Amino acid sequence: MSSELIITIFVAGIAAGTTLVFAAVGEIIAERSGVLNLGVEGMMLAGAVTGFLVNRQVRAPWLGVAAGISAGATLALLLAVLVVSFKANQVVTGLALVIFAIGMTGYLGESVVGVPPPVTFNRIALPGLSDIPVLGRIFFVQDALVYLSYVLVPATWWILFRTRTGLNLRSVGESPETADAAGLSVTGTRYAAVVIGGAFAGLAGAYLSLARAPSWVPNMTAGRGWIAIALVIFATWSPLRAALGGYLFGSVEALGFRLQTVGLEVSTFFIAMMPYLFTIVVLVLISRGSVQRRLAAPSALGNAYLREER
Amino acid sequence: MKPAGGLRPRLVKRLLPSRRIRVAVRLIALLGAFAVAGIFLQATGRGAGAVYRAMWTGSFGSPYGQAQTILAAIPLIFTALAVAVAFRMLLWNIGAEGQFYIGAFGATAVAYSAPDWPRWLLLAAMVVGGLVGGALWGLIPGALRAFFGTNEIVPTLLLNYVAILLVDYMVNGPWTDPATLGFPLGKPFSESAILPLVGNTAIHSGIYLALAAALSVSMVLSRTAWGYKIKVIGSNARAASYAGFSIPRNMVAVMLLSGALAGLGGMVEVSGVVHKIQANISPGFGYTGIIVATLARFSPIYLVPMAVLFGALVVSGTELQTLGLPSDIVLMLQGVILFFALAGELFVNYRLVWRAGTVSDHPSTPAPVSNRAADLEQAG
């Protein structure tokens, strides 16, 4: 493989990975508060269709992104009501949300399937930075939402690990009893974390339908929400590692499509399987030495908190 | 402690979950879902009345619809059984969709390679093909969980995509029917690869397999030592390993059985309904099966009527499609029904008591330690 080809793979890998990065960072915020949000896939779909529809109406991609974010957050609020207030099982609730969202987005997007969007996000070469050899072309000739991710990822890390807000959020995920006794609101923190996480998932979806593959196709997330959940474990609940992992997973996705252009005789169906198989293999590899990983997982992840039952 | 003024709600656990409330919750969930979806339909400019009328005609409201409902309930019984068996051990098999596809794949491979065998022999071989295909697909996440500790939720789900792509590949390549000019359809099965119909109805004899599977699973889970074993492992893994039960081995066995059941569903579908292999053989039977199993509280017997109910929903979607009405509303309905049921479960297990709030309103008696197994059991 020529170095030129490798660079194009990474350029596409960053773009493909950004969806995963947004979704995984959102999931990290929710899981750090103790809520396993398995509805990411559905929230991404909601973000994708809403972003696309709004952009089509108002011809302003940033408004589309804002709409996508709100759609993701709205579905997340629904999830929070069920799992935080009604103490519903987090696995079933997440699945129910995905099924609901597949139906809802299919319904809402029916009239725009395959319609090209009026305006999309285009690639912008950042002056100065894009002149850095190799890395400049990979990281700094991307669209505005990719640059947004460069800001949001470290910012999330900073908030989670270097501020009181982040400490409070993590303590709710580690030991809600202690957090409650210390006067923190477990319910409030979890609502906030889940809704912000959903906003990120909505952003991930809007990125897909407005920048990565500007269009709306039913079910266009194609399992990326689930890959993002796997990515969270891979990243041991750290936004920075999630970004690295996201670009790695994205490059695997990009690699498949490049392989075809260089004339490799592999059926598209097998190439399309690669990201799923790669994710499973990675999950297996990381669960082997899983002691640190189990320690990294928020202790109260997946458990509803009832003050009456402490 | 001074009263903080006003009444505050508190949740008090019921000693026994209320059965009456559980039934009421199911009914409210159903009605509530139709009400919410109806408002949504009206708000987006579709007549809810017309949509619901078409759904009724396409399901319970006509002899044709009734037969279609039963036909859709058959695969749902299999996928819901797959979910229920795995959940007995607290494993989440959300890969029944993929196992269903690979079961169809296995049965089809048999049907295409021995089309001239006598019907009874070919059908028996196809059943084996479906069972083996589904079991293998369930084995992958089962073995990964058993031997590497990889949580099964994400692998079972991702394997659905892989399974669907594999079938897509076959129907676009090796198995494609040249007569369809590039449509993703396989060649029609031979006469002897097709399940006979029941009497002179439109329902194929796969219904006997489905009911037999539900009965046998129920017997195995509640009347055999193995069924008891996996229940113990599910509710208390530590106690089970002290009792000498091999957790990895039983985990693999459960996922083999779970996958085999979904795979048999795939066999029955291609042999009884589609009569060939094609892309999109399932409108999400694997996912709907999760809802069916959950609402039936993972009971192999109760899930049969629940499958009929959801079978009606699934076929009413097909009816909407042929009328050019939005069939996606059916998926939304499934989601909303489950939302209501999940929310209502709180009132099945807890009583809401209004009391004067106090500044420090903590119970002084130690509450029972929350048990994850019990929590999960309440999920239905």
**Domains along the sequence of chain A with CATH:** 3-305 (1.10.3470)
CA distance B281 to B100: 9
The pairing of beta strand B350-358 with beta strand B3-13: antiparallel
- Arithmetic mean of pLDDT, B353-379: 49
Q: How far is B197 from chain A (nearest CA, A)?
A: 32
- Arithmetic mean of pLDDT, B169-192: 88
Tell me if B158 and A308 make a contact (CB, 8 A cut-off).
Answer: no
How wide is the angle at C-alpha A303 spanned by C-alphas A30 and A205, nearest 5°? 30
Please spell the DSSP secondary structure of B203-260, one letter per residue: -BTHHHHHHHHHHHHHHHHHHSHHHHHHHHHHH-HHHHHHTT--HHHHHHHHHHHHHH
Q: Which tokens belong to B40? A: 């949504």
Contact criterion met (CB below 8 Å) for A156 and A28: yes
CA distance A209 to A42: 14
pLDDT value at residue B306: 94
pLDDT value at residue B359: 45
pLDDT value at residue B245: 84
Alpha carbon of residue B152 to chain centroid: 16
CA distance B292 to B84: 9
Q: What interface predicted TM-score (ipTM) does this complex get?
A: 0.91
Chain A residues with beta carbon closer than 8 angstroms to that of B310: none
Residue B366 has pLDDT above 70, yes or no: no
Element (DSSP H or E) covering residue B128 = helix B119-148
CA distance A39 to A225: 8
Tell me if A273 and B153 make a contact (CB, 8 A cut-off).
Answer: no
Q: Tens digit of pLDDT per residue, chain A (310 long)? A: 577 888 888 988 999 999 999 999 999 999 999 999 999 999 999 999 999 999 999 999 999 999 999 999 999 999 999 999 998 989 999 999 999 999 999 999 988 998 888 888 888 888 888 888 888 888 888 888 999 999 999 999 999 999 999 999 999 999 999 999 999 999 999 999 999 999 999 999 999 999 988 999 999 999 999 999 999 998 989 999 999 999 999 998 888 777 777 766 778 888 889 899 999 999 888 887 666 666 678 888 888 888 776 5
pLDDT value at residue A294: 65
pLDDT tens column, B243-265: 888 888 999 999 999 999 999 99
pLDDT value at residue B357: 56
Candidates B148, B346, B362; nearest CB to A287: B148
Residues 6+ away with beta carbon under 8 Å from A58? A64
CA distance B331 to B97: 15
pLDDT value at residue A148: 93
Tell me if A101 and B335 make a contact (CB, 8 A cut-off).
Answer: yes
Which of A:177-236 have CB within 8 Å of B? 222-223, 226-227, 229-230, 233
Q: Is A277 on the interface with B (CB under 8 A)?
A: yes
Contact criterion met (CB below 8 Å) for A191 and A33: no
Compute φ and ψ for B56, nearest 5 degrees.
-65, -45
CA distance B295 to B338: 8
Candidates A87, A107, A269; nearest CB to B329: A107
Candidates B158, B368, B372; nearest CB to A280: B158
Choose the weakest-confidence range: A295-304, B54-63, B339-348: A295-304
Locate the chain B residue with the closest alpha carbon to A307.
Answer: B362
Tell me if A276 and B144 make a contact (CB, 8 A cut-off).
Answer: no
Show me where the domains of chain B are located: 1-46+326-380, 52-323
Contact criterion met (CB below 8 Å) for B158 and A226: yes
Tell me if B375 and A89 make a contact (CB, 8 A cut-off).
Answer: yes
Contact criterion met (CB below 8 Å) for B287 and B97: yes
Chain A residues with beta carbon closer than 8 angstroms to that of B144: 280, 283-284, 287
pLDDT tens column, B61-115: 999 999 999 999 999 999 999 999 999 999 999 999 999 999 999 999 999 999 9
CATH architecture assignment, domain B52-323: Orthogonal Bundle (1.10)
Half-sphere exposure of B248 (CA within 13 A, CB side): 9
CA distance A31 to A190: 9
Residues 6+ away with beta carbon under 8 Å from A285? none
Q: How many CB atoms lie within 10 A of CB A122?
A: 10
Which of A116, A109, A115 lies closest to A221 in space, CA to CA? A109
pLDDT value at residue B322: 83
Locate the chain A residue with the closest alpha carbon to B90.
Answer: A91
